[in-house]
Structure formats: C-alpha cells, structure tokens
Amino acid sequence: MKKRIHLFSIFSAFLVLMFYTNVRAGELNTDPVVTTYKVLTDGSYINWKASKYGGKHNGQLFFNSGSIVFTDTVLTSLSFTVDMASLICSDIQDEGKNKQLVDHLQSADFFDVENHPMATFTSTDIIPYGKDSEKGPTAFKLLGEMTVKGIAQPMKLRANVYIYPGSSISATAKFILDRSDFDIKYGSGSFFDNLGDKIIHDEIDMYVSLVAQK
C-alpha cells in the first residue's frame, strides 16, 4: 500500500512539473516576435516628379540604407536614408542639358548635396488601414519625420506593404515633398514675388518603392 502511495506521489509530482513547464513555455511563446527587414539598395528607388511654369521633369533617387520592422504581424517602424548624390533626371535626352539640370538640383540653390549628402525619413506612428483584398497588400498611414538639408519636418506617407513567403518584403509609398518647408527657395513663389513664367512649383511628387529581406 505504501509503495502504491509513493508511486502515486511521484506520478502526481511529475504531472505538476509538466503542467508548470507547459505554462512557462506558453508564457514565453506569448512574447512578441520582432522581425527586421533590411532594405536592398540595389532594388529600391524613389521616382520624383517636379513641375514649373510650362514644363516638368522627372527622375529617380536611390537609397543608402533602410529598415522595415514588424512586431508579430504588425508594422511598427519604417525608416530610410536617401543618397542625394544619386539623383538622376530621366526625361532630358541631351547629355549636356541633363547634366546641367542635375548639377543645379544638387547645388546650394536646391538640395546642397555637398553639405547635406543624405535625406532621411523615420516613422513615429503607424496606423493600419487593413487589406482591400485577401491577396492584396496591407495599407498603412505612416506619420514621421523627414530631414532634408538638415531641416526636420513632419511628413505623412500612405504605404502598401507586401509580405512574401520566406524572408522578403516589399513596400510602396506616396508623398508630396514641399521644398519650401526645407528652405529651398530658388524660383519659389513662396519666397519671391513677380517671378512670372520663371516660377518653379514647391511640390515634388515622390513615389517610393522598397524591397527588403530579413
């Protein structure tokens, strides 16, 4: 009889230990999983489009670095650094005129690339919009801070994020960069009167395309 009681006590203690171990394992499994995707600079870019009285230009910029962070399945952070020296113009075919425009955009009249080679964006708050369809991207509104020419300003982006099986992710976003917010005055009606047909519009349309991997 004593032997049976002893065996029962051992078995009970074993069950208690297993239960406690499973509870602890369950507690550990509830910890959030943070996954960071690094932006691939070779496959990522920004398309820009600027306009002036009677004309417009477009081109691209490329990234120096960036990251997209998920906590479990929720987007919690997006940041990137743009190499301003990578700026190109796509619509002017004449090589000399193309270089003239690019040099001017990189000069102190505009982005002053020599003194401010990088522009950055860092999200401060992210609002999920959900999915339009089962296989479509997840939409988000990103509130953050954009720094251009050393001047930081609040910025709002609308982003679509695609998660693929495995370890890759892509994201697209649109926003308008108002150059007057960053003290870029050349040809701006926000700073000068009587420019007439020499005015260059402040708003620059930006389309971001990012590819990233774990």
Strands annotated E in 72-167: 74-89, 118-131, 138-148, 151-163
Residue 190 confidence (pLDDT): 52
Q: Yes or no: say if 41 and 65 are a contact pair by the CB < 8 Å rule.
A: yes
Q: Which of 210, 200, 124, 117 is nearest to 160 (CA)?
A: 210
| Interval 154-199: pLDDT, tens | 999 999 998 887 788 999 999 999 999 999 988 775 554 443 334 6
Please check the confidence at residue 28 and state whether its pLDDT lies above 80: no
How many angstroms separate the first and last alpha carbons of the chain? Answer: 61
Residue type at 142 in one-letter notation: L
Please check the confidence at residue 202 and state whether its pLDDT lies above 60: yes
| Interval 133-160: pLDDT, tens | 777 788 999 999 999 999 999 999 999 9
Please, which pLDDT band fits residue 15 given cuts at 50, 70 and 90? very low
Residue type at 48 in one-letter notation: W
Rounded mean pLDDT, 14-30: 50
Please check the confidence at residue 14 and state whether its pLDDT lies above 90: no
Rounded mean pLDDT, 201-207: 93
Burial of 123 (0-12, 13-18, 19+ CB in 10 A): buried
Residue 7 confidence (pLDDT): 46
Residue 9 confidence (pLDDT): 54
Alpha-carbon separation of residue 187 from 59, 87, 109, 183, 198 (angstroms): 19, 20, 9, 12, 7
| Interval 60-115: pLDDT, tens | 999 999 999 999 888 999 999 999 999 999 999 999 999 999 999 999 999 999 99
Task: Tell me the pTM.
Answer: 0.80
The three-state secondary structure class of 68 is strand
Residues in the chain: 214
Backbone angles phi, psi at 98, to 5 degrees: -60, -50
Q: What is d(CA 157, CA 210) in angstroms, rounded to the nearest whole number?
A: 14
Q: What is d(CA 78, CA 94) in angstroms, rounded to the nearest whole number?
A: 37
Place of tokens 């370890």: 167
Q: Yes or no: say if 115 and 153 are a contact pair by the CB < 8 Å rule.
A: no
9 or 178, greater pLDDT: 178
Are β-strands 55-71 and 74-89 bridged in parallel, bridged antiparallel, or unpaired? antiparallel
Are β-strands 55-71 and 34-39 bridged in parallel, bridged antiparallel, or unpaired? antiparallel
